[in-house]
Chains A and B, each alone.
Chain A
Amino acid sequence: MPSDFLSNLYVFILAGFVGFEVIKRVSPLLHTPLMSLTNALDAIVVVAAIIIAGRHETLLSTVLCVVAVAASFSNMVGGFLITDRMLRMFKTGGAKRP
């Protein structure tokens, strides 16, 4: 077992617990924006795609990762955009327009 694995496992487990505690507190009111926001955060895989595509090791790896850059970046842009649009719609009675 590589030594990196254990330190990665630490990070994974701790992040999982943080996620559990934080997300438990999200009101059911906002479950749809929660899903689109986590989707946008998950699109951070774009950084891995950029590095592998940028190394340009083989044609196959470059092509695959260029597709991956486009797919994940579309999630990043679209995910943040729609989450913000949704959250803007949530208003209280007082802030309601006449």
Chain B
Amino acid sequence: MSGIATQQLLDSAYVVASVLFILSLKWLSSPVAARRGVLAGEIGAALAVGATLFNPDVQQYKWIIIALIIGAAIGIPLGLVHMTAVPQRTALSHAFGALSASMIGIAEYYVGIPNISRFGMGEIALEVIIGSLTFTGSVIAAGKLQEILPQRPITYKGQNVVSLSVLGAAILLAVALVCNPNAPYLFPIMVVVALGFGILLVTPIGGADMPTVISLLNSYAGFSAALLGFVLNNKVLIIAGALDGSSGFILSVIMCKAMNRSFSNVMFGAFGQVQASTKAGAEERTVRSASPEESAGILAAASKVVIVPGYGMAVAQAQHKVRELYDSLSKRGVDVKFGIHPVAGRMPGHMNVLLAEADIPYDRLVEMDDINSDMGQTDVALIIGANDVTNPAARTDQSSPIFGMPILDVDRARTVMVIKRSMNPGFAGIDNPLYYFDKTLMLFGDAKAFVADIVRELSGSSK
């Protein structure tokens, strides 16, 4: 077969792969067809990788095979992590994706000089800057999610000025390289500055903002791959990168809307730092608390219960106990649904995955807008490890930092029960007036232990 014919055959494999990638995402629109989507993606990827190995340009196989084996050896354990570790795994995979995109861009630069056009230089510089900052930013995000690094926002005076100056420096270096592409000593400096900006960008962001940050990093990783496709004239990279980039972008927009905040506010606002604890405990307000026995009695007497899970449920690993509670109540004929806020947890869809892992049928997991219309007819809203997403101050208190954020209207249920360790506000430090309502019962304790106690009471009284 002639070289040109081989090339055309390989290129058609990429065309088929691109179609399969689009179908793969299309089938993800329903949980029923979704697994078919994964299969389509796998076939597309296998086809593209297989065809590439037959590319006549590829002459040295030894290191490629070794790298593929190492990649599989890293990827398989990362594909088998526990569901509670999915947010940090996702951040780490953004880091790997961005790392490889920047490595390829750097290699392309050093292979190409001194024959790189100014236009080509601009593409490479942009690609490598986005790839590098996404790499370090994602590593920091993964460190925060794994709790190797502190989850609270780390801030200092003049932070935004420093961060933006570093970004400015990276852009200036890129401009200098475009003016004179044949300046190999500037290139590594630009890479280091971009890596530094990634660290500065994510370090100040707190754990509660991680759903937005992880989506934004997702989008950057995608766009860096698409830019790499421009650099290398490879359309399958452009398509896969554009799909990934637009997916991350849409998710970021959804997350921002769910918090009523803008991108710049998330990236530069350092949530939880601004409020200097307003009205510091001016009035002593009382709360009502209840024991597991009393809670079990109220739940058993209810006909409609909405459970609102949050990050606290994930931390306490309480999802399996919650499933037992769901089973126990369902058996008694209680209608139990779950109200899922878009930013509950540490990444988009986090709660759904945890509850699905615990074998709770997905048709019981209800989105915020739909569950809110049911809330008025709900007997008990049980909040497990969620705080800000249920805070009625978001509707009423203009001075609250979360004013305007869409929330789950749990206060419209007849009784509200909140499982919480203590009255200490979370690190966002926002007081929740819900806890002082007459209809609210505070259930103090560890989420997992408390739910287990309720389940025990329920099964005890049924015998």
Which residues in A have some Cβ–Cβ distance to B below 8 Å? 1-2, 4-5, 8, 11-12, 15-16, 18-20, 22-58, 60-62, 64-97
- Chain B residues lying within 8 Å of A47, measured Cβ to Cβ, are 14, 48-49, 52, 234, 236-237
Find A41's partner among B77, B108, B240 (CB 8 Å cutoff). Answer: B240
Whether the pair B352, A65 counts as a contact (CB closer than 8 A) is: no
- Chain A residues lying within 8 Å of B230, measured Cβ to Cβ, are 5, 8, 12
- Chain B residues lying within 8 Å of A85, measured Cβ to Cβ, are 79-80
Find B25's partner among A26, A53, A95 (CB 8 Å cutoff). Answer: A26
Known contacts A29-B365, A42-B97, A51-B58; is A76 also within 8 Å of B104 by CB? no
* Nearest CB of chain A from residue B73's CB, rounded to whole Å: 8
Whether the pair A70, B67 counts as a contact (CB closer than 8 A) is: yes
Which residues in B have some Cβ–Cβ distance to A below 8 Å? 14, 17, 21-22, 24-26, 28-31, 34-35, 37-38, 41-42, 44-45, 48-49, 52-53, 55, 57-61, 63-64, 66-68, 70-81, 83, 86, 89-90, 93-94, 96-97, 99-101, 103-104, 106-108, 110-111, 117, 119-120, 214-215, 218, 221-222, 225-226, 228-230, 232-248, 250-251, 254, 340, 342, 347-350, 352-353, 356-357, 359, 361-365, 367
Whether the pair A69, B348 counts as a contact (CB closer than 8 A) is: no
Find A93's partner among B38, B53, B363 (CB 8 Å cutoff). Answer: B363
Closest 6 CB pairs of A and B: A81-B79, A73-B71, A54-B58, A31-B349, A77-B75, A19-B246
- Chain B residues lying within 8 Å of A19, measured Cβ to Cβ, are 25, 242-247
When C-beta atoms are compared, the residue in chain B nearest to A52 turns out to be B107
* Nearest CB of chain A from residue B320's CB, rounded to whole Å: 13
Residue from B66, B94, B97, B245 whose CB has the most chain A CB atoms within 10 Å: B97
Whether the pair A90, B100 counts as a contact (CB closer than 8 A) is: no
The distance in angstroms between the C-alpha atoms of A43 and B235, with both chains bound, is 14
- Chain A residues lying within 8 Å of B244, measured Cβ to Cβ, are 19, 38-39, 41-42
Find A66's partner among B64, B96, B111 (CB 8 Å cutoff). Answer: B64
* Nearest CB of chain B from residue A75's CB, rounded to whole Å: 5
- Chain A residues lying within 8 Å of B234, measured Cβ to Cβ, are 47-48
The distance in angstroms between the C-alpha atoms of A2 and B120, with both chains bound, is 9
* Nearest CB of chain B from residue A37's CB, rounded to whole Å: 6
The distance in angstroms between the C-alpha atoms of A68 and B145, with both chains bound, is 24
Whether the pair B67, A80 counts as a contact (CB closer than 8 A) is: no
Whether the pair B34, A90 counts as a contact (CB closer than 8 A) is: yes
Whether the pair B361, A34 counts as a contact (CB closer than 8 A) is: no
The distance in angstroms between the C-alpha atoms of A50 and B276, with both chains bound, is 53
Whether the pair A54, B349 counts as a contact (CB closer than 8 A) is: no
When C-beta atoms are compared, the residue in chain A nearest to B56 turns out to be A54
Whether the pair A23, B68 counts as a contact (CB closer than 8 A) is: no
* Nearest CB of chain B from residue A63's CB, rounded to whole Å: 8
Find A78's partner among B49, B76, B237 (CB 8 Å cutoff). Answer: B76
Find A31's partner among B71, B77, B251 (CB 8 Å cutoff). Answer: B251
- Chain B residues lying within 8 Å of A34, measured Cβ to Cβ, are 25, 28, 247, 251, 348-349
Whether the pair A29, B352 counts as a contact (CB closer than 8 A) is: yes
When C-beta atoms are compared, the residue in chain B nearest to A4 turns out to be B233
When C-beta atoms are compared, the residue in chain A nearest to B67 turns out to be A69
Whether the pair B60, A49 counts as a contact (CB closer than 8 A) is: no
Whether the pair A90, B356 counts as a contact (CB closer than 8 A) is: yes
Whether the pair A49, B100 counts as a contact (CB closer than 8 A) is: yes
When C-beta atoms are compared, the residue in chain B nearest to A89 turns out to be B356
The distance in angstroms between the C-alpha atoms of A39 and B3, with both chains bound, is 33
* Nearest CB of chain A from residue B370's CB, rounded to whole Å: 10
- Chain A residues lying within 8 Å of B49, measured Cβ to Cβ, are 46-47, 50, 76
- Chain A residues lying within 8 Å of B229, measured Cβ to Cβ, are 8, 12
Residue from A66, A71, A89, A96 whose CB has the most chain B CB atoms within 10 Å: A71
